[in-house]
Amino acid sequence: MARVYFLLGGNLDNRERILSEAILKMKLEIGELISTSSLYETEPWGFEHEQNFLNQVVVFESELSAIEILDSTQQIEKDLGRVRKKNQYSERTIDIDILFYEDQIISTDRLVVPHPRIQERLFALVPLLDVAPELIHPIELKSVKELHAKCPDKLEVKKFKQ
């Protein structure tokens, strides 16, 4: 079984409902849900949009390979109305990123793990602090807590009022 860390996010439609539906589908397709962070509201990163994102980190145990998980998450995104645009930074109903797959380093045309920009993004690091502050990034060789302390991102990440 592999421990897999995901970042969920979206800023279109009913954001809370879509994140919940994504988690339900992931339980059916990927494995056992181990942990979830709080929900966080964040400004769009890399582009402007009137609607902020909701983000959440979820941790699963899975028997699937990283590429099988990628295939599953991309299908879940499609099922939940994700439309991929040419510009990688744009509004979306749901985005499911694989942040970490155990402590593996994977670099293929389709998948790079750990997520290549995690250390630059507070919207990923803040919810990760909820579930795995001591997790060591296998390339940076720093904990999530250390990466958070040195993150250059200045966008506000606040707990979502539920």
Nearest-CA neighbor of 22 among 127, 91, 96? 96
Annotated catalytic residues are 82, 92, 95, 97
Which pLDDT belongs to residue 75? 96
pLDDT digits 0-9 by tens, 114-142: 999 999 999 999 999 999 999 999 999 99
Which pLDDT belongs to residue 48? 61
- In this structure, the number of other CB atoms found within 10 A of the CB of residue 63 comes to 10
Read off the pTM: 0.94
pLDDT digits 0-9 by tens, 89-106: 556 789 999 999 999 999
Which pLDDT belongs to residue 43? 82
Query: What CA–CA distance (Å, rounded) separates 1 from 120?
Result: 29
CATH number at residue 122: 3.30.70.560
Note down the domain range covering 155.
2-159
Domain count, the chain: 1
Residue ranges of the chain with per-residue pLDDT less than 50:
none
Tokens of 109: 């045309």
Nearest-CA neighbor of 130 among 89, 160, 96, 91? 160
Question: How does DSSP assign 106-151, residue by residue?
Answer: EE-SS-EES-TTGGG-HHHHHHHHHH-TTPBPTTT--BHHHHHHH-
Which pLDDT belongs to residue 99? 98
Return all residues near 15 (Cβ < 8 A) that are at least 6 apart: 53, 54
